[in-house]
Structure 1
C-alpha cells in the first residue's frame, strides 16, 4: 500500500521530499535563532545538503518527463548520500569525541582562509563544536536525527528510481 502510494505519482513524492527538507531547514533555523544553538561546520554542511535535496527534488517534481525527473532525482539521491555521510561522521564524533576538544575555525573562516582542498578535510575532521550534543529528542542528537532523515530521503528516492511503475509514469 505504502509502496504504491510512493510510486504511483512520483512527482507528488518528490514534491513532498522537497517540502520535508524545507521543513527541516525551518526547524534548524528555529533552533538557531529562537533556541540559541549555534551550528557547527558539519551542521552547516548538512544544511547545504538539505537545501540541495530540496532544490533537486523540487526541480524533479516540476516536469513529468521521465528523463527530467529521473535526472534530478539522481542528483537529489547523491546529495542525500552526502548528507547521510556527514551526519554519520558527526554522530561518530559525538559518540567518540576527540581526546583534545579544540574549537576549530568556523565554517566560513575555513572556506575564506584556506583553499578548498584544505578546508574540506578540516570540516570533516570536526572539532569540539561538532562533538558537542546541545539538543536531544528521544535520546538522539541533531546529527543522529539528520542521519535518519537523509537515509529516509535516500530510500524514497531509491524506491522511485527503481520502481518500474514510477519509471513508466
Structure 2
C-alpha cells in the first residue's frame, strides 16, 4: 500500500488531535489546569487539526506546509516553555484572567480568588525527565517531519 499525501496529512493532524486530547485529559480529568504558555501551545495544534480536515477534500502541498509551520510553531513554544521550566530564561511576566468589563467589585474579587494560580515555571507532571511542554516539543517536531513528508510526496 502506498502512503499518500492525504494519509500523511491526516496522520499528522491526528497526532495534534491526540496531543490536544491528552492536554484536556490532564486538565479536566487529572486536575492540572494549564498555564498561559500551555494554552499558547494549543493554538497551533488546532490549526493543524483544521488543516487535516481540509485535507480530506484537498490534498494540496501548501496545506501540508502550513501544517508543518503549525507543528514547528507549537514545538518552538514548547521549547521556550521548557527553558522557562528549567530556569534557563525568564518566562512572561503577565498573567491571564477572564474578562472584567461590567463586573462589580465583589464579582471581580470573586473571579480573582477562584482563578487557579498556575505558574509557567512549575512542572506539574513529567515522564522520563521531560515535562508536558518538553513532550509537546518532541512530538510536534516529529509531526512537523510528517507534514514535510506529506508536502514533498507526489499526489
Q: Smaller-chain TM-score range? A: 0.7 to 0.9
Higher relative contact order (CA closer than 8 Å, sequence separation 6+): 2
Task: List alignment gaps of at least 5 residues for structure 2.
Answer: 100-117
Distance 1:11 1:98 in 2: 39
The change in CA–CA distance for 1:14 and 1:23 in structure 2 (over 3 A counts) is same
1:72-111 pair list within 5 angstroms:
72-96=63-87, 104-106=94-96
Q: CA deviation at 1:102?
A: 9.3
> Which residue of 2 is the match for residue 44 of structure 1?
39
The one of 134, 138, 144 aligned to 1:148: 138
Residues 94 and 133 of structure 1 are in contact (CA less than 8 Å); yes or no, is this contact kept in structure 2?
Answer: yes
Task: List alignment gaps of at least 5 residues for structure 1.
Answer: 110-127
Q: Normalising to structure 1: TM-score of the pair?
A: 0.71
Q: CA deviation at 1:104?
A: 4.0
The one of 22, 27, 33 aligned to 1:32: 27
Distance 1:13 1:57 in 2: 9
Distance 1:36 1:20 in 2: 23
Number of aligned residues: 137
Q: CA deviation at 1:57?
A: 2.4
Q: CA deviation at 1:94?
A: 1.0
**CA-atom RMSD in angstroms:** 2.5
Write the deviation string for residues 69-118 of structure 1: whole angstroms up to 9, x where unpaired.
Answer: 2121111111111111100000011111668x997412656xxxxxxxxx
Q: Please state whether the residue corresponding to 1:62 is helix, strand or coil.
A: coil
The 4+ residue runs of structure 1 with deviation greater than 3 A are: 101-104
The one of 52, 57, 60 aligned to 1:57: 52
The change in CA–CA distance for 1:79 and 1:108 in structure 2 (over 3 A counts) is farther
